[in-house]
C-alpha cells in the first residue's frame, strides 16, 4: 500500500526511497527550473523541492504526503545545471577538475498546508580530469541528464577523490534527513514485511 507520492521520474530517487522500504506512487511534475535573479543556491534548491512536492500532491489526486527534491552542483557560488551539450559538459568537468565543490540537495514533503523543507550540503573533491577523459565520459551518455555533468553513483565515481557529508544526497536524496521528515508525516521506514523463500 502506497505511503508516499514521489514528485519525480528520477530512478535514483525511487531506488533510494525503496532502499528504506517506502512504497510509492510516482507522480512526475514538469516545472521551470530556471534560477531566479540573484537567487542563492540554497534558496533555489529549497524552492524547487517545495514546488515539486506541492505540485505532486495536487496532481496525484490522493491525500498522501508528496516528496519533492532538487539537487544542484555549486562551484564558486554558481549553480551548475544539466549540460546543454558535449561542449558544455566538458567545460563543466574541466572546471570541477582537481577542485572542491558543493552539492546541495533540497528535500520537501507536502500534504495540504503541512510542509517541511530541508537542504543538505555535501562537499565533493574531484581528482584532475583531462579533456580526453571528459569527452570519453560524455560518450558513455551518463552525464547528459546530471547536474554538474556527472553521476557519483555511476561511471563518474572515478572522478571523486573524497566526499564530506551525505553520499545519498549527492545521488539525489539525503536519506537520514528524509527519514526524519517522513516521520513528521507519520511515515516510518523499513515497514515492508520480510519476504522468505
Pull the grid cell for residue 5.
Answer: 507520492
Partnered with residue 160 across adjacent β-strands are 126
Burial of 117 (0-12, 13-18, 19+ CB in 10 A): middle
Which H/E stretch holds residue 55? helix 41-60
3-state helix, strand, coil in the chain (%, to 5): 40, 25, 35
CA–CA separation, 65 vs 46, rounded Å? 17
Determine whether 70 is an active site residue: yes
Pull the grid cell for residue 130.
Answer: 583531462
| Residue among 70, 76, 77, 145 flagged as catalytic | 70
User: So which residues are the catalytic ones?
Assistant: 70
Amino acid at each position: 500500500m502506497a505511503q508516499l507520492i514521489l514528485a519525480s521520474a528520477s530512478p535514483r530517487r525511487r531506488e533510494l526511497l525503496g532502499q528504506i522500504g517506502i512504497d510509492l506512487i510516482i507522480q512526475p511534475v514538469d516545472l521551470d527550473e530556471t534560477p531566479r535573479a540573484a537567487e542563492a543556491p540554497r534558496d533555489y534548491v529549497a524552492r524547487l523541492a517545495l514546488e515539486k512536492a506541492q505540485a505532486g500532491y495536487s496532481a496525484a489526486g490522493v491525500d498522501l504526503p508528496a516528496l519533492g527534491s532538487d539537487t544542484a552542483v555549486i562551484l564558486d557560488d554558481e549553480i551548475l545545471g544539466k549540460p546543454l551539450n558535449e561542449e558544455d559538459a566538458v567545460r563543466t568537468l574541466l572546471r570541477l577538475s582537481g577542485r572542491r565543490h558543493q552539492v546541495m540537495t533540497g528535500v520537501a514533503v507536502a500534504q495540504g498546508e503541512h510542509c517541511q523543507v530541508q537542504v543538505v550540503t555535501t562537499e565533493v573533491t574531484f581528482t584532475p580530469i583531462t579533456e580526453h577523459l571528459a569527452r570519453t565520459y560524455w560518450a558513455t551518455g551518463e552525464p547528459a541528464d546530471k547536474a554538474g555533468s556527472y553521476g557519483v553513483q555511476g561511471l563518474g565515481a572515478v572522478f571523486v577523490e573524497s566526499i564530506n557529508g551525505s553520499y545519498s544526497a549527492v545521488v539525489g536524496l539525503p536519506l537520514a534527513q528524509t527519514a526524519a521528515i517522513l516521520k513528521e508525516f507519520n511515515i516510518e521506514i523499513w515497514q515492508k514485511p520480510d519476504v522468505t523463500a
